[in-house]
Amino acid sequence: MKKMIIIVVACLVFLAATANSSLAGENSKTPKPKKAMLTLKAGDTAWIYFTGYYCPEKNQSRFANGSYEADKAINCPNGITASGKLPKRGFVSVDPSVIPLGSKIFIHEDEEIVTAEDKGGNIKGNRGDKFTGHGQRGLAEAYKVTGWKRVTVLKTDDSS
């Protein structure tokens, strides 16, 4: 009888662990590249791991890193993107060796076209950081972005 109970409990633990891993937001069928790929060109499709970033405002009630100064230092240190523009929704930070700056990118899961306008210090290889806005609302949206997404490069600066 004890063996039967142990086997049933072990099966339940296994099933619970399996269910929890599939609920964690990672799709087991989604490829997870181990290293940076070659530079993508117009028409190429790839999987990119996205996170979100925002520009804080002093009057927010919450900050991702505890304070306005800490969030500003990480997310919007100089207030402009690597391409010299003010950050706005629809911009993403990328590794320019994978996706050239200025590229138009279609994110399949979001059904959205974004532009590679920035590069971040921690954005290396198959990573993207999607700008979600300013202030408390931008912070809330940034938390929703994280995950692997399939992208297609629609246009690069050197494509017509």
Number of Cβ atoms within 10 Å of the Cβ of 157: 10
Q: How far is 100 from 82, CA to CA, in rounded Å?
A: 12
Residue 24 is predicted with a pLDDT of: 39
> In angstroms, rounded to a whole number, what is the distance separating the alpha carbons of residues 105 and 93?
12
Q: What is the pTM for the complete model shown? A: 0.72
Rounded Cα distance between 142 and 131, Å, is: 7
CA atoms within 13 A of residue 83's CA, in its CB half-sphere: 19
At the topology level of CATH, where does 45-155 sit? Barwin-like endoglucanases (2.40.40)
Mean pLDDT by 10 residues, the chain (160 residues): 45 38 42 62 93 92 91 82 85 93 94 92 90 94 93 77
Which pLDDT belongs to residue 96?
92
pLDDT of residue 14: 39
Token readout for 13 is: 């633990």
What integer pLDDT is reported at residue 31 of this predicted model?
55
